[in-house]
Structure formats: C-alpha cells, structure tokens
C-alpha cells in the first residue's frame, strides 16, 4: 500500500469518524473502500464496454460534416 495524505471537508471527516465508530472499522479502511467503489464505478477495464458506452455520442451533433462529404473530399484529394 502507498500512504497518501488527503484533505477532507469537516463534515465528511465527521461522517467517516461516525461510521468508523458504528462499524468498528478504521477510518482509513472506510476511505479505501469508498475509493475502491468509486474506481469500479468510473473505470472499466473492458475495451468493449468502453466502446458500447461511447456508441452514438455524436449522433445528435449537427456541426460535424457527413461521412459522404468527407469521402468526397478524400477522393478529390487522391485523384
């Protein structure tokens, strides 16, 4: 494990301390569990999952050129 120092809002610190007293866990364990849960939620190691998540992100954009116009431009450049 790597030791890391962080700053918390006072209310977060009090809540963590309260949870530690209620559960009998150390505050550091509660923080590690919270960080681990956050990382699982926000980071996927599966490339297919990332692709599925990104699918259609430009669907409703009207400021991008169409594929046909891009192809025509490319074809003109290579002729």
All domains of the chain, ordered by start, with CATH?
A: 1-54 (1.10.1220)
Q: Is 6 helix (H, G, I), strand (E, B) or coil?
A: coil
Question: What average pLDDT does the segment 17-37 reach?
Answer: 96
pLDDT of 59 > 80? The answer is yes
CB atoms within 10 A of CB 48: 8
Question: What average pLDDT does the segment 2-26 reach?
Answer: 96
Q: Please state the φ and ψ torsions of residue 10, each to the nearest 5 degrees.
A: -60, -40
pLDDT of residue 14: 98
Round to whole Å and give the CA distance between 65 and 79.
21
Please give the model's pTM, rounded to 2 decimal places: 0.55
pLDDT of residue 48: 83
């Amino acid at each position: 494990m790597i030791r890391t120092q962080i700053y918390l809002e006072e209310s977060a610190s009090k809540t963590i301390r309260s949870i530690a007293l209620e559960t009998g866990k150390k505050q550091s364990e509660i923080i590690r569990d919270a960080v681990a849960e956050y990382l699982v939620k926000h980071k996927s190691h599966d490339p297919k999952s990332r692709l599925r998540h990104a699918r259609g992100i430009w669907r409703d954009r009207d400021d991008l050129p169409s594929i046909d116009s891009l192809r025509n431009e490319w074809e003109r450049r290579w002729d």
